[in-house]
Each structure stands twice: as C-alpha cells, then as structure tokens.
Structure 1
Amino acid sequence: MKPYLLLLALLCTTFLFSQSKTQEKITISGKIIEADSNIPLEYATVSFTNAQGEIVNGGITNTKGKYAIKVPPGVYTVKYEFISYETKEIPNKQLTQDTTLPTVSLAINTEGLDEVVIRAETTEVQVRLDKKIYNIGKDLTTSGATVSDALNNVPSVNVDVEGAISLRGNDNVRILINGKPSAIAGFGSTDALRQLPAEAIEKVEVITSPSARYDAQGTAGILNIILKKEKTLGLNGSISTNIGHPTSSNVSGNINLRTDKFNIFNTTGVRYRDAPGNAYFNNQYFPTTFTDPETGEEVTTDPRFDRVIEDRLYERQDKGFNTNLGMEYFLTERSSITASGFLRLGDDEDLTTNNARKFSNGSLDETTVRKEREIEEDRTYQLSLNYENKFNDEGHKLTADFQYENDKEEERSFITENRILPSPLSFPSEDIVNNETQKEYLAQADYVLPIGENAQFEAGYRGTFENEVTDYILKQEQENGAFVRNDTLSNIFDYTENVNAVYTQYGNKFGKFSFLLGLRLENTQLKGEIQSNLDEDAFSETLGVDIDTDFDKNYLGLFPTVNLIYELAERENITLGYNRRINRPRGWFINPFPSRSSVTNVFQGNPDLDPAYASAFDLGYLKRWKKLTLTSSIYYQYETDSFERIQEQTGQVINGVNVVRTIPINLSTNERYGFELGLLYNPAKWLRLNGSFNYYNFKSDGSFNGIDYGTENNSWFARGSAKVSLPWKIDWQTNGFYRGPRNNAQTESDGIVFVSLAFSKDIMDDNGTIGLNVSDLLNSRKRNSLTVTDSFISESEFQWRERSVNLSFTYRFNQKKQRGRPDRSRDNGDEEGGFEG
C-alpha cells in the first residue's frame, strides 16, 4: 500500500503546485506613443480581456507612455485606447511569463476631431506629486487680455484691483516663466504680466507644495507660467489684433520655423491702452499724543483740518513693445542648445488729479487740486542660454541654464497743488526723478537619474545674483520759482541679493503609492548701502526710524519637502505635502526713503526687515468621472517673522494735515488654514462648466512701537465659468468672481464681485477667429475699505480700471487647432519639478 500512497501524495502535490502556479500573476509591460511625432502618450488605457469576454485587468500609462500591469497567465485580447485616437488591439495573445510587448503607436481619429476640439476648449487639470497643472483652453474672456487677466481665471489664484497676485489669499507668491525667474514676469513686481498677451500661455502650474528643485522663495507657493512653443515641422504662426474701449489696441504675432536640426521661434507685440481709474477717500483725524523717541517728552499734534475728503481720477496711457526671439539647435537626437533674447520697451504717461475738500469742526475751510503727472520709460532685455542632454529615453538627462537680465526704469513726476478756496493760492511744486537699474544673473544645473522602472534621483545647483540701484532726486520749488534739490530726501540706495542653493531629491513608486523627498540648502545674502546727506542719527530724527545705513546680512537655511500620493483607483487619488519656505524682503520694502502718493500719505521701507519663514501642509483629493472632475485640498501654514504693512502718524503736519506713514514690519507669527474645492463639469458637448471655492482663516500676532497689531480674519472667494456652444460655430462664455470681506489689524475690506462676458466665432475654414468680450460687465470691481486707528479713520473706494469692451481677430497659418491631449514634446517646461508618480 505504501507505493500507492506515495504516488497519490505525489499527484496531489503536483496538482496543488500547478494550481498555485496558475494563480500567480505575471507582469506585462510596454509603451504607447503618438504615431505622427513618436511622443509618449500619457494616461492612455491598456486592458486585458480573456476568451470569455471579461476584462481581467487594466491600467494607464505614466508620463513616459509606459505601463506595467499584472495578470494571470493566459490568452488575452490586449486593447490600447486614448481619447480622440484610433483604438488598437492585439487578439489572442498568449502570455505565460513576464513579457515586454512591442511599442504601440496610436494615430489621431480624424472622424472624432470635432469632439477633440471641444475638449481642447475647456480647462483641464492634471495632478502631480508637487503641483496641479491647468491646461488653459480657449478661454474667450482673455481674448485681447493680458497674462495678469488670464491668471484670475485659474483656481486658487486671485488678482486684485491693482494687479497684485495672491495664492489662496496669500500674496507672497513666486512667479516663474518656464520654470525660471524671468524679466518677462518682472522682479518683485507683476506689472510686466500686464504687458504680455494671454494668448501666449500654454498652461499654468499651481505649485502649493514645491519640490526641492524650486527656489524656496514664496511662502504661498509658486505659479509657473508655461508659454506656448510650436513643435510641428515647417513654418507656422498666428497674428492677433485687438481694439477696445476705453481706447486700447494691440497687435501681436508669433512665428515658428521647425526643421530636423533647428527650431526658430519669435513672438512680437505692440500695444497701446488707456486705463482710466478712480478713487475716493474720506479721512477723519484726531489730536494725537505720543512720546518723542529722541527726547522722551510727550508731544501732541492737533491738525488744522479734522476731516479731508479726496476724489482722485487716474488717467493712464500705456504704450509698449515686446519681442522674444530664440533658436533651438539639435546637436544630436538627444541633445540640444537653445539661445533666446527678450526685449521689452515701455513708454507710459499717467496723470493723477486729486480734488480735496478739507473741513474743520464740520465746516468746509479749504478746497485744493493736486495733479501728479508721471512719465515712465522702461527698457528691459534678457538673454538666455539652455543646454539639454538626454542620455537615454528613460529620463536620464542633464540640463544647464544661464540667464542675464537688465532692467532700466526712469520715472519722472511733476507735482502741482493749488488752493481754490477760500482764496487762490499755489503751493510749492515738486519735481521728482526716480531712476532704477536692476541686473540679475542666474546659473543653474540639474541632473536627473532614473533608477529602475519607477524610482528617480535628482540633484542640482541654482545661483541668482541681483543688484538694484535706486537714484531718487527730489527738487522743490522755491519762492523765486526756482527748483532746488532737497538733500534731506534725495538719495541713492544700492541693494544686493545673492542666493546660492544646492538640492537633492528622490522619488519612487510602489504599486499605488508614490513619494518624493527632497532637501534644499540655501544661503541668502542681503546687502544694502545708502548714499545721502543724512547720517544714522539724522535718519532717526528726520524719518523716525532707527536703521543701519550700511548693512550686510547672511542667512543659511535648510528647506525640506515631502510629497506623497496614493492612487485609490484609476481616476482617484489623495496627496499629502509638506514644505518649508522663505519670504525675502524686496528692495522697495527695505529702502527707508519715503515715496509719496500724496504729500501727507507716504510709504517708507524698513531696512531692519528680516526674512520670514513658513512651514506648510497640504492634503489633497482628486476624483475623475466621465464628465466631472473634482479637486479639493485642506491646507495649513505657520509663518514666523511675517511681514505686515501698518499705518501710523509721523507727527509731521503739512498744509494743515497730519502725515500718515505706511511701513512694513516683522510680526512675530502668522497662522493660516483653509480648504478649497474645484469642479470641472462637461454635461454635454455644447455646455462646459467650471467652478472653484476657497475659504481661509488668517491669524497674526505681534506689536510695533507699543501697539498690538494682532488680528484674526476669515474670508473666502469663489469663481464660476459657463461656456455654451451655439449654432454657426459661435461660442458664448460667462465668468463670475466673488471675494468675500476680509480684514487685517487696521483695515476692513468689503467683498468684491465682477462678471465678464465673451463671444467668439470661427471663420475662414477655422483659420480665423473673431472675438468680443466685456471685462467687468457690471463695473463693480472696486475695493471698498475702512481703516481705523487711534489717530485717524479712513474710508476709501478704489477702482484700478473701469469696465472695458474688446474686439479681437486672430488668424492662424499652418497651425492645427490644439487637441485635447497633454503636450509631451521636448522642453515644454513640465519637467520642472522632477519626479512624477
């Protein structure tokens, strides 16, 4: 019996072993590319169907067009799909072991092109480990508009009435162009973004949890604007013209010549725009007693006028020219060098008329008219050189960048003030010349090394070296009519900011879990030298602040980053990010010499400002359905030595009115938390909806000159967009925005609502487009605020630009309409930020 038992045991063992082998899964991998360009297709779908017609398993390709899917051994039909592309199948494929299938190329499905174009006209979102990417579609409301206007349609972003950009309610946001600081975006100012046409944008990356590759500047995060760059072979381009009311016009064009060895590209624009605005101020002043910092004695100021009402009218004429010319030369199939030059010329003329009524004890005592005519000439150029070497198709590469910018601005202001009542009188006029010269060098090198199928190592260096010289000359009219230089306030401020940084980061993916860990080391040098006739003691007496007129500060900091993502399902994931950031004060925040919007209202920088540091956490969730995409985040930030601009009286009285100073200070802490929600919904081919909501709580704690400036603020903003496709190739789009009330330690601001409306029609076999849009349809984009202090109360209304109407025409030659797929061509800027899970 024993031989039979042994044989039976052997058969059972063999059977069980074969069953366990059957249950084991094998890995099937491969790659999908686009047929025309050989560019990898991201998010293409791969599925395995057995002989019974059941889908056993499936997955999607990564950013390199690759897939790796586990299935039990067997015979399958392998199906490859991507929206707007023809489907391919490999029938009856026997798979018994780990196998790498041949690369599959998918071609455009021309029969479904109409649907593809519709998808391209919506704003879509992609989620990476450290950012959200908004592919800006055919947003009609930005036709004839600027980059600054277009950013106001991006979720999480807000552009206020003066053009200041904030992210989740925090205005300390870093603006990059194609992943690098640039003269195109401006240095410490967003004015340049008002001069670049919105049509130049390809996509916007909202980076609320930046990886270690990025500069640590910007406690709110980073907005990386990726500009369009045509990749198709041959000669192609487009030209756009716009006219509008209030009077505006511009012509911009881009042309691209691409061969197998080089790519030449140019974008050029000429603009003219009137930008009328207005403001209203109702200021009430009280007698104030304060302690003189020099003598220690109590001083009481009792202004002659206890109430001043100002009506301001802004007349602005902006004229400019900008051009960007470059060439990319392909040294080999894997390496290229790109050289480009950018030039911007600006010639602006502004007239501000301030009609003031001054009261004493409720009676009108005096009326004055103050006019400030400002002429500004701006000359900016930038030279860039980029080298890229791709060692293989797996992502192993080395890039090096060098960039030089030079910006010269000359502002000349002539200020006159006349009394109308009770009797005509001319006050001394002022002639102000402010020359700013700014130079910046950037050197950067980045190395990327893939490790295996999913891991990636990165390391790099970035150095930015910036010098800004401000030459401020103030001449005042004397009794004999001659203008004499005021040596007390005239000065030269030489400011240098040097930042050297090295970083390393590592990312990997295990099944549905991906992570990216990074560490950045930065050394910051802030150096300033003030040339004036005032010594440090005179500063304290004249300007009311103790400062070091010659300072050199160094800060060394470590900035870790952690970004995690977990795929709950094919179209659903959660993300978690942590990062530490820095906010360095810009030159105008440090320059102690006052700049005057009026004789009695001055802004004064603070040389004692130190950088602020912030730690931030972000928890995100994304879910995609067939017609709906949901994005959401919960975030928290804690900042030390945060900046706050406060207002206080200086003790000076000019023309019977107390002088009020605005000065930035370091508060002790700044704490904010909030959540945001975004929806993209396409219920039908003719209707596309887009909405977002952001709520935040802001709390600060700190004091200055014995006054507590701590405050707590709750606010929110929401935006919505609806686009309807009408017959005869006409599109209609409406955008709405509302920002809720908010406050800081001294000022309460009312909510703001504005609506934009636009229509467009394709003509000339879809090569041309006519557009009409109305910005701020209700003429309601105004900032109303109330400032309350112990010494004065100020009620104000400010409108930067009134409602505008714009008519545009765009003609394209040899350009295909943008299709609804991600752009994966070389040097599209999307690789900035590193590993993608």
Structure 2
Amino acid sequence: MKKSTYLFLFISLFSLQTAFGQNAAKEEKPVRIVGVAVTGEAEEPVPYATAALVNPEDGTTIAGAVADGEGKFFIAGFGLGTYTLQLSFIGFEPISVRGIEVKTLTGEINLGNIKMEDEGVALEEVTVQGQRDLIEERVDRTIYKAENDKTTAGGDATDVLRRVPMLSVDFDGNVSMRGSSNIQVLIDNRPSAIAASSIADALRQIPADEIKAVEVITSPSARFDAEGTSGVINIVTKKNNLTGMTLNVNSGFGLRGSNLSLNGSARTKKLGFSVGGFGRTGYNINGRFENEQMFTTPDNSLASVLQEADTRRNDLFGRYNFGVDYDIDKYNFLTGAVNFGIRNSNNYQENFFTENYQEGQLINRALRETDVVDESNTVDVSLNYTKTYEKKGKEFSILTLYSRNKRENSFTNILFEDDFQTIDSRLRNDNPSKNEEFTIQLDFVNPMGEDGNSILEYGAKNILRRAFSDFSYLQADGADGEYVENENPALNNDLTYDQNVTAGYASYTFNLLKNYTLKTGLRYEYTMINADFRDETEANIPSYGTLVPSVNASRKLKNGNLIKAAYNRRISRPSLRFINPNIDASNPSQISQGNPLLDPELTDNYELGYSTFFKGLVLNFTGFYRNTTGSIQAVRTVQDDDIIFTTYENIGREQAVGTNMFTSITLGSKLSFNGGFDLYYAMLENGLTDPLLAAENQGWVISGRMFGNYTLPKNWQVQLFTFARGRRVQLQGTSGGFAVYGLSLNKQFAEKRGSIGFGAENFLAKEFIIRNELSTPTIMQSSTSALRNMNFKVNFSYRIGKLSMDDRPRRRRKSINNDDLKEAGGGQGEMNQNR
C-alpha cells in the first residue's frame, strides 16, 4: 500500500468524524455541568484537569471530561439525580464536590471556580471516593501518573515504563514505542548523559518512587529536536513549589536486587535546594543461551556452528543530583543542576562450548570463558534563565547544558586447550570512549490576540558534540603470558568524531472555528561532521540540512470527547553503536563493526486519535502509519574460518501501519482495571538486488498490558500487573516474545507518610525463554536465551518533615530537550558502544 493511500485514509476518517460532530451540534443541547479548575489562592487555571461525575452511592463514574487550556470543562450525558464531581490533575490533590442535584434534562449547572490545592498541602482535608486516575489524555500527549501506581515501589523506571500505554520494554530495559526503539527520552524535559549513553541504563538508575509521571508524545511539535522515529518520552520526577524541609527514604530488598535512596529538599521564599542519591544493585541474574547457525562458506560448502553457555550478570547503578533555583524577582528566575551517574556491569559466559561442522562432520570443539566489563560515569551540568512578563504566557528563556560520558568497555576471552582444563590463550579488547556536548538554546513564547489563545513560539539551538573512541586488541599466551598489542590498524586505532548541529524553529498554535485547534511548525537543522583516525585516515562525510515540518490538529466533541490528527517528519542520526570501527569479537563466531560513513534516517509519521468517556469507562484509540527511508540495517556476510561478519548500511526502508488502544474501567469505589494493546503490521526491505544480500520481511506484531487495583480496609491495597509482547519482525528474521507479571500488597501508615509493601514477580515460572531467528540466502541462525527472573521483594518508604504552600506563582521549569541520535536495539545511543 502506498503512502498516499494511508494519508487519504486518515484524512477521510478525520473528515467523517468532523461531519458527525457538526450534525450532532445541530441537535438541542442537553443538560450539562460546567466549571473552571483553578489553583488555590492565586486562582490561576489548571489546564487539562480531569473531571468525573460519580454516583455517590456506589462510586460508579457516570460521565467525564478533560478541561481545556483555560481550565474550563463541561460534562454531559447523564440523567436526573444527585451526583459527586471529582476533579484531579498531576501535582494537585484530587477534590470532590458533593450534592450536585440534576432536576431537569435541559439547561446548565455552573459550578464556577473550583479551587485545587497543591499536593501534600491538604492531605487530610480532602476525601476522595474511588481510584485515582492513572492515565490522563491531553491534546498532544498521553500522561501516565506513576505516583498513583504502588506496584512499582522499590523498583526503577524500567518497572514504570512497562505500564505505560504505547510503550514496550524488553528484558534488558530497551524501550520501544509502536514497535520502534528509535525514540527520544527526556528527564524533566531535558536530556541526560545517562539516557544519551544508554536508555536502558538510565532507566535502571532512576528510582520508581521518585517518578511523578511519564509523558508519551507521539507527534512532537517543531520545538522539539527532530530526533526520534516514534516520538518523545518525558520522565517527570517529583517537584514542588513548597517551603520548608523534607527528606524521603526509600529502600527495598529482594531475591534479585536491592535499592536504597535518600532525597531531600529545602526552600525559603526565593531560594530552593534539592539533593538526592539512589543506589541499586542486581545479583543472582543467571541464565543460559544456545545458538545454532548454518551457512554457505565462500567455497560453497555447507558449514554449521553450535554454541551454548551459562550466563551470569552483576550490576551496580548509582545516580546523585543537586539542584538549586532562585527567584530574582517576580518575572526573572534562575535554575541550576548537577547530576552524576555511575554504572558498573559485569557479564560472564561460563562453560562456553563451540562446535564447528563441515558437511555434517565435526571438525573442531572449543571451550571458552568470556568476561565483559561495561563501566561508565556521567555528569550533566545545566544553568537556565527564564524571564516572564506581565502578559500571561509570554516567556523568554536561555538554556545551557554541558554533558560528559566516559565509558570503559572491555572483554576478555579465555580459550582452553583440548583437555578443557589448561588455558591456551587469552584475547582482550579495550575500548575506552568519551562523549562531550555543549548545548545552548533560546526559546520565546508569545501569546497573541485579545484572548491569548493563539501562541507563537520560536527559537534556536546549537549542539557542539565531540566523541572519542580508542580501541585495541591484545593477545597473551597461556594463563600468565604478557599481553601484546596487535599492530593491525583495523584492530588498534582510535576515532575522533566531531558533530555540530544548528537548528531554528517556529511554531504557531491557534483556534479554528469553534472547537478546532491547529498547531503548525517548521524546523530546520544543519549538521556538520568531521571524523578522522589516529593513522591519519579521514572519513569524508558531507554536511547536510534537514527541513522538518509538523502539523497537529484536534477537535473537541460532545461529552468532552476529543479527536486529533497529526503529521510530522523525524530525523535519526547514527550513534557510535553504528559508526564505531572497533571490531566486537566477544563471540568469535559472530563479529561486528560499525560504519563511520552512515547517513541519517528520515521518517514520516501520520496518526489519527480518538478519546471518549462513558460511565466509568475511558477509551483511547490511535491509528498510525510510519515510513522510514535510508533505514540503517545490518549487512551480514560469511568470512573465512566460518565467521559471520556484521556491519551497517543505509539500505533499508521500514513501514508500519497499526493501532494502539487503551481503556480504563472503574467498578464501584474499590476495584479498577486499565489496560491496552498495540498492534501493527511491519514491512521491511533493504532494496538490494544482489540475491545473496537482498532481504525483505513483513508480519504482525502485538503486545498488551493489564493493571488491576483493589482497595482493602485500613489503607491496604492489592495490585496486579502483567505485560506481554509477541515476536517482533526484523529485516532478516524475528526476535522472540516474552511476558512479565507481578502481584503486590501495600499498606500506608503514619497519616500516609510511610508505606510498606510485599511483592512477587514472575513467580509461576522457573525461567523465561526467548527464541530469535535469522534467515538470509546464505545464513540460517536460531538462538535461545533463558533468564531466571523470579523475584520476591519487600519495600519500605517514609517521609520526614513537612512542606507548606508559599506565595510564589507556579512556574514551569524549562530545560533543554536534547537527544538526537538513533538508538540501537540493544539500548545503545549517544556516541558510546554497549556490548
């Protein structure tokens, strides 16, 4: 199916829904409840607050709506009776308005301004019936309220993202959105060196208890970097505008890992500080793998390799931060932060047997042991200035960020003699690398028109990036021989890779007709690259410019329903995982090498979404089409000595058409469920004509999740979570599916200042098995990985100190959005390699 066909289908569906909405508008308007969500004392609007009309007798939700950008909402679709209104939004305590009497089926019930207090201020003053919402739908994003999910207590961001609609997270913590792992991950609206180095590692370093929400932005506007095939994920940590001092203690221990975090904050009227630390260790992470590959050698003989090994992994992660913000005066303020991250990971392969066959005859059998060390430390330093104006919404900001990531990758391969006892030789590969970035960004927001509903945004950004990779191979005889460095430049060299990205953008948001909102934008990015090697070899990589348009449209329908459509273009620059010339031979039968001459990928995205609310049911549906050209794909060939060699080329085209659906159901005041599924059809091809290299593949990919919560007396809660992902279609084969699940019991005490929980994860199976397949005209490979991840854990948290409201206006803290490189399937990203 051609791209134009999909585009025509989306436009037709959008026009059809609009026609239905216009016909419905001609009918006589039924009774409705209207109101405005505002902050406590300042009475400023609370945009996009969620309103639900509840039956006070059984807690059933009758109807609902989402407020607009001015905090205004209206609810329709209910009958005569007496109801309770529940109003909620991230960062505010949910509030209930009781005794709303509906005596006629026409007219309007105006509740006026409804004041919402900041969270933590009036915990004992507000009584909320029913479950607090976990999902909030906005015009341009879906928000998962992680702070309301107690099943993640004691875990990390990986556990949180597994519960978020439209996201999939595999066993190694690698994140994908709608089947694509090429996404942009931000922490508090800004990039982080830990996320740039490896998204999977970044997630392990962020404690779940410190995550307030996760925002999934599938169609980013021109203000965002053009990186990311699928979109943007913003992890929002817990912040506040309160005065006083507080300290949070969170700890947990389990069969597979333990964690401890301390986070404190202090604030006066103008000056605020925050400091925190988090440590997590993983142990008893054991498993095994088996690999069988058959291929045709260069001399046209049939060869095969069988491999098996026991695996073991130990991890240690840490993240430490210090932040300060200062209000210069009413309209000017500064923010600064320093974040440190550490990562130590050791992966062992023991009893690593390899058998080589030629025409069915065994010709060699070898025993190895492999030790892979992956260590890194990161630092982010940011300083931001923001100026606001008397005119509401007008804002100017200068944002700066310095990031550094130093990484040490190495592996040691020990080969035994035929007796499988005596060490014959040792091979070591050292690959230290470093990535440094300095970014400056200027943004200006100017509301226009008398009502201020039209918004003009424009700005500029520059990223100076330098990556360095040093690699060498060393060989030693026996168990005690000295290592000798290999003189081959292909095995002993270094790469310096300088990149300069300059960008400018403009975006305009305005209301069209009565219920339409249109947001258009245009972004231009110009990239200059200089790469050279220590042996004076130069890689000639031409500069290139990229024009990135974006269009987002939405229409509000009856009963607070919303329909939205979007188009945007994205760019994905290759990271060091793809360009690093270091040869990875940790498995001697399968070696790989990057290609410094790779070009970026370009992706066009189209989507159509619909959200509705009906008697305790929240339903969100999205259809999408994605087309990627110049896709970076692996090219595999068979070399002498029965070795499969892998490198990368811009030879692929990827298409995907599919849907996401999410639903939330409330049954009474104590029981709730939410869940959803992702389904898409993937079509991949590499466009080559050589029959030995040409490849294409297609097929369905599905994944789903479910979360259930039941409230027991005396502040006890039982929660169940499960996530499953089917096999994924790849250009030359498939990767296997898997499932995870968990059950937890939590209790709050000491006026909700403390909590204790007991959890069990994957407790019905001894191990999980994942099967991957690779198929080319000359190579057939089947591999099996098994992971023992049954876990039992105990979690404890307690909050010391008290915060109270100050009289400062609520301000949106801004920071740089920066992460513009293609992520590898293994979670690798920014200018660093992860084995």
Common fold, TM-score beyond 0.5?
yes
- Residue 491 of structure 1 is matched in structure 2 by 493
1:271 aligns with 2:280: yes
CA offsets 1:479-502 (integer angstroms, 9 cap, x no match): 893321012201101112221111
| Cross-structure match for 1:389 | 387
CA contact (8 A) 2:621 2:660 kept: yes
Which residue of the partner structure matches residue 297 of structure 1? Answer: none
Are 2:551 and 1:562 aligned? yes
The amino acid of 2:567's aligned partner reads Y
The verdict on how the C-alpha distance between 1:104 and 1:571 changes in structure 2, with shifts beyond 3 A counting, is: closer
| Aligned 8 A contact 2:197 2:405 in 1 | no
Residue in structure 2 matched with residue 296 of structure 1 by the alignment: none
- Give the secondary-structure state (helix, strand or coil) at the position aligned to 1:766: coil
Q: Find 1:742's aligned residue among 713, 728, 732.
A: 728
Q: Deviations over 1:454-513 (max 9, x none)?
A: 111100112222111011121012489332101220110111222111100111124211
Matches of 1:592 and 1:609 in 2, distance apart? 12
SS state at 1:809 partner: strand
CA distance in 2, matches of 1:30, 1:425: 80
Shift of 1:525: 2.2
Question: Which of 437, 441, 460 is matched with 1:440 structurally?
Answer: 437
Question: For the structure 1 residues 664 and 775, does the alpha-carbon distance in structure 2 shift closer, same or farther, using more than 3 Å as the test?
Answer: farther
3-state DSSP class of the match of 1:660? strand
Counterpart CA distance in 2 for 1:386 and 1:829 is 8
Aligned CA distance change for structure 1 residues 704 and 501 (closer, same or farther; 3 Å): same
The one-letter amino acid of 1:466's match is R
2:91 aligned residue: none
Where do 1:419-498 residues align within 5 Å?
A: 419-420=417-418, 426-452=423-449, 453=451, 454-478=453-477, 481-488=481-488, 489-498=491-500
Percent identical across equivalent pairs? Answer: 26
Q: 1:699 aligns with which of 683, 694, 697?
A: 683
Hey, what's the Cα distance between the residues in 2 that align with 1:157 and 1:318?
24
Aligned-CA RMSD value: 3.5
| Correspondence for 1:126 among 120, 131, 137 | 137
| Structure 1 unaligned regions, length at least 5 | 1-28, 48-57, 70-78, 91-100, 290-299, 536-548, 819-823
Q: 2:528 aligns with which of 512, 525, 528?
A: 525
Partner residue in 2 for 1:320: 317
In structure 1, the partner of 2:812 is: 827
2:632 to 635, 643, 654: 643
Residues 398-413 of structure 1: pairs in structure 2 closer than 5 A: 398-413=396-411
- Of 337-346 and 613-622, more deviation after overlay is shown by 337-346
Within 5 Å, give how 1:780-795 maps onto structure 2.
781-795=768-782
Paired residue for 1:33? 38
Q: Higher relative CO (CA 8 A, sep ≥ 6), structure 1 or 2?
A: 2
> Separation in 2 of the partners of 1:762 and 1:68?
35
After superposition, the Cα gap between the structure-2 partners of 1:237 and 1:184, relative to the gap in structure 1 and judged at 3 Å, is farther
- Residues 270-301 of structure 1, C-alpha deviations (whole Å, 9 max, x = no match): 23221524242232434423xxxxxxxxxx16
- Structure 2 residue identity aligned to 1:594: I
User: Which residue, out of 697, 700, 723, partners 1:714?
Assistant: 700
Q: Distance in 2 between matches of 1:287 and 1:184?
A: 41
What is the identity, as a one-letter code, of the residue corresponding to 2:812? D
Task: Check 1:803–1:528 CA distance in 2 against 1; reply closer, same or farther (3 A cut).
Answer: farther
CA contact (8 A) 2:191 2:816 kept: no
Say if 1:713 and 1:744, in contact at 8 Å, map to a contact too: no
Find the counterpart in structure 1 of residue 347 from structure 2: 350
Tell me, yes or no, if structure 1 residue 765 matches structure 2 residue 775: no
Aligned match for 1:193, one of 172, 193, 203:
203
- Contact 1:693 1:719 survives alignment (8 Å): yes
- Paired residues in the alignment total 739
Structure 2 alignment gaps of length 5 or more: 1-33, 53-63, 76-83, 89-93, 101-110, 819-835
Question: 1:671, CA displacement in angstroms?
Answer: 1.4
Contact 2:664–2:674 (CA under 8 A) maintained in structure 1: yes
| Aligned counterpart for 2:607 among listed residues 618, 624, 638 | 618
Q: Secondary structure at the match of 2:221?
A: coil
Matched, 1:514 2:526: no
Distance change (3 Å), C-alpha of 1:816 and 1:572: farther
How far, CA to CA, are the matches of 1:196 and 1:81 in structure 2? 32
Of 216, 223, 239 in structure 2, the residue corresponding to residue 213 of structure 1 is: 223
2:770–2:784 Cα contact (<8 Å) kept: yes
Q: 2 CA distance for matches of 1:668 and 1:233?
A: 55
Partner of residue 503, structure 1:
505
Aligned residue number for residue 812 of structure 1: 799
The 2-side partners of 1:498 and 1:204 are apart by 30
1:42 corresponds to: 47
- Cα pair 1:559 1:580 within 8 Å, conserved: yes
Structure 1 equivalent of residue 830 of structure 2: none
Q: CA deviation at 1:214?
A: 0.2
* 782-791 vs 142-151, greater mean Cα deviation: 782-791
Please name the residue that 1:652 is paired with: 640
Using the TM superposition, give the Cα deviation of residue 609 of structure 1 relative to its aligned residue in structure 2, in angstroms: 1.6
2:50, 2:136 within 8 Å by CA — same for their partners in 1?
no
User: In structure 2, what residue type is equivalent to 1:255?
Assistant: G
Contact residue 646 and residue 663 of structure 1 kept, 8 A: yes
8 Å contact kept, 2:633–2:652: no
Q: CA deviation at 1:227?
A: 1.6
Partner of 1:24: none
Structure 1 residues 148, 309: closer, same or farther in 2, change over 3 A?
Answer: same
**Structure 2 counterpart SS, 1:115:** coil
Question: Hey, what's the Cα distance between the residues in 1 that align with 2:44 and 2:300?
Answer: 72
Residue 628 of structure 1 pairs with residue 617 of structure 2:
yes
Find the residue that maps to 1:621 and give its secondary structure.
strand
1:261 aligns with 2:275: no
Q: Find the partner of 1:145 among 152, 155, 162.
A: 155
Are residues 354 and 746 of structure 1, via their aligned partners in 2, closer, same or farther at CA, if it must alter by over 3 Å? farther
Q: In 1, Cα distance between the equivalents of 2:293 and 2:51?
A: 70
Question: Quick one: structure 1 residues 564 and 599, their matched pair in 2 at CA, closer, same or farther if it must change by over 3 Å?
Answer: same
How many angstroms does 1:557 deviate by?
1.2
| Paired residues of 1:236 and 1:815 also in contact (CA < 8 A) | yes
SS of the residue corresponding to residue 163 of structure 1 reads coil
* 8 Å contact from structure 2 (residues 320, 341) kept in 1: yes
Residue matched to 1:245 = 255
**How far off is 1:444 after superposition?**
0.9
Normalising by structure 1, what TM-score?
0.82
Q: Counterpart amino acid of 2:380?
A: Q
TM-score calculated relative to the size of structure 2: 0.82
Cα distance change of structure 1 residues 829 and 632 upon mapping to structure 2, 3 Å threshold: farther
Displacement of 1:739 after TM fit? 1.5
CA offset digits 1:228-277 (Å, max 9, x no partner): 1132221123110111112x222102111122111211221123221524
Give 1:577 shift.
0.3
Tell me which amino acid in the other structure corresponds to 1:63.
Answer: G
Q: How many angstroms apart in 2 are the aligned matches of 1:426 and 1:503?
A: 60
The answer as to whether partners of 2:496 and 2:533 remain within 8 angstroms in 1 is yes
- 1:167 is aligned to 177
